[in-house]
Amino acid sequence: MKPMPKDFLWGGATASFQFEGGFGEGGRGLSTHDFETDGSPEHPRHHTLKLADGSYGEAKSSFFNPDDIPDGAVPCFYDGCYYPSHKAVDFYHRYKEDIALMAGMGFNVFRFSITWSRIFPTGEEETPNEEGIRFYLDVIDELEKYHMEPLITICHDEMPAALADKYDGWSSRKVIDCYLKLCRVLFERIGSRCRYWLTFNEVNAVRGYASCGTRKADNQTHYQAMHHIFLASALATKMGHEMMPGSKFGAMYALSEIYPATCRPEDMMRHMQCRRETLFFIDVMARGYYPSYTGDIFERRGVTLKKEPGDDGILAASPLDYVSFSYYRSCTVSAESNFNVIGGDPNPYLQSTPWGWPIDPIGLRYVMNEIYDRYQKPLFIVENGLGAVDTVEADGSINDDYRIAYLKDHLREMQKAICQDGVECLGYTMWGCIDLVSLSTGEMRKRYGFIYVDMDDKGNGTLERRKKKSYDWMKEVIATNGACLWDDIPEE
Ligand code: BGP
């Protein structure tokens, strides 16, 4: 295998509501994820909060006030119900130790996201919260000590709860200005220290209260909200380029590969339509215009988009510099499938993770080629990894050979795409490099990390960090720039 590019970025990825914690500290306001429970059967996970009378209500920022938390209380239990994002795994207080651990593996990049309400607690203040900015500057100081560069996701599936309450989130155009205000502050204060920015996370999967700030589930609201996100991303890109010459802007998409279930023409046609449902979001943002098939999608979904004069010009003026994505799995579709953006039907040729996600390393090479062919822009793989249950042995070791096997297979396919197929790819950041709270389930036991965190699904534990077997393995992968991935393959 030809060697990887010398300047390839190797690192890990996190999101603030799953990793950072620090709820109610440093002037942070409420965020939409603050209302999610641990997802245990007695506490439904999404959009609910257990009220004083024992019933569940819709999330509203007035439901709890961080200032009311008694001193010394664990700030994540209300009426016996656990809210994992409040503490997450406490990067807020442990960032120095965490960054040192990451540096120990040789990471040269670290992806993290900004808690919007840490900078603008309600999203609408005139001036930013200095303490919030200080936290992220401290994180970057620490990264720089170890020559790691930040990869910042400006908005990873969350927003100040106050914006969700007042405007119904991204369904309102007003939120674009609030987002741009956040961007301006970040670019002014952090800009000179960050090359790569992601305007939004998993743009094609943003939906509902926590990630989009809206409680309406209809297609009209959804695509209108997405239009506002497209505009916000393009305007942020424009501003970023002006304020930080040389900066690079991408957005992130959830890209499972989708295969046709059979070569039956009806399945093939349905496959193409489903793929377009996903690629639609990249098409608009990377090419800078709505694709010709938009009419078909909107017609089938009963959507009439409200655009203002000038919107098309905004999109056209600032397409993305690079395309980034998460890749965990693949699926199949047939003419009869009930497809949503990520999930289709299982593939009989693939095994699955304990959480039922099909494992498909070749799908990663496939998707890299597909996306690069379509956009001819550099890629950045910013999420990939295996969610699994890890066991701490009596001697304290964690032998996660299954994770090593998953990553080895995926990284080999990535290297084939880059070195054999000629795909330009800036870097790879493994998801949840330090164990963190699961987005979909709220669990801790679904672990991705090279580094174990001593905490259970209810937040019990010391939060102590411990290296897994995969830590040293990945360290060698990075030190050899991927060469050791091929050690056990006989030379031809
Ligand atoms: C992506 C999200 C991440 C992350 C990951 C793994 O969709 O961008 O935030 O959580 O998926 O998902 P989960 O935590 O559900 O295993």
Residue type, 71: D
Three-state secondary-structure class, residue 326:
strand
The candidate with the shortest Cα–Cα distance to 310, out of 235, 236, 221, is 235
pTM of the full predicted structure?
0.94
Report CA-CA distances (Å) from 196 to 183, 209, 374, 378, 420. 13, 28, 22, 12, 26
Crossing angle of the two packed helices 130-145 and 174-190, in degrees rounded to 10: 50
Would the CB of 202 count as within 6 Å of ligand 1?
yes
* Alpha carbon separation from 304 to 169, 220, 228, 235, 278 (Å, rounded): 19, 7, 14, 23, 19
**Residue 19 alpha carbon to ligand 1 centre in Å:** 12
Separation CA 62–CA 29 (nearest Å): 11
Q: Does ligand 1 lie within 6 Å of residue 155's CB atom?
A: no
Crossing angle, helix 294-301 and helix 265-282, to 10 degrees?
100
Measured distance CA(244)–CA(187) in Å, rounded: 7
Judge if the beta carbon of residue 415 lies within 6 A of ligand 1. no
Kindly give the confidence (pLDDT) of every residue in the chain, 492 residues in length, as a single tens digit, with 9 standing for 90 and above.
Answer: 899 999 999 999 999 999 999 987 899 988 988 888 787 766 655 545 544 454 444 444 444 554 544 444 444 666 667 889 989 999 999 999 999 999 999 999 999 999 999 999 999 999 999 999 999 999 999 999 999 999 999 999 999 988 998 999 999 999 999 999 999 999 999 999 999 999 999 999 998 888 999 888 899 999 999 999 999 999 999 999 999 999 999 999 999 899 999 999 999 999 999 999 999 999 999 999 999 999 999 999 999 999 999 999 999 999 999 999 999 999 999 999 887 766 688 899 999 999 999 999 999 999 999 999 999 999 999 999 999 999 999 999 999 999 999 999 999 999 999 999 999 999 999 999 999 999 988 899 999 999 999 999 988 899 999 999 999 999 999 999 999 999 987 766
- Cα separation of 396 and 453, whole Å? 12
Residue of 202, 383, 413, 443 marked active site = 383
**Ligand 1 geometric centre to CA of 265 (Å):** 33
Whether ligand 1 lies within 6 angstroms of the CB of 254 is answered as: yes
Q: Out of 383, 389, 444, give the residue to mutate to test ligand 1, the one with the largest number of ligand atoms within 8 Å of its CB.
A: 383
Ligand 1: which atom is nearest the Cα of residue 342?
A: 7
Give the Å distance between the CA of 395 and the centre of ligand 1: 31
Q: Indicate if 383 belongs to the active site.
A: yes
The CB density around residue 304, as the number of other CB atoms within 10 Å, is 9
Single out the residue of 473, 477, 365 nearest to residue 419, CA to CA: 365
Best of 253, 359, 431, 437 for a ligand 1 pocket test (most atoms within 8 Å of beta carbon): 431
Torsions phi, psi for 213 (to 5 deg): 80, 0
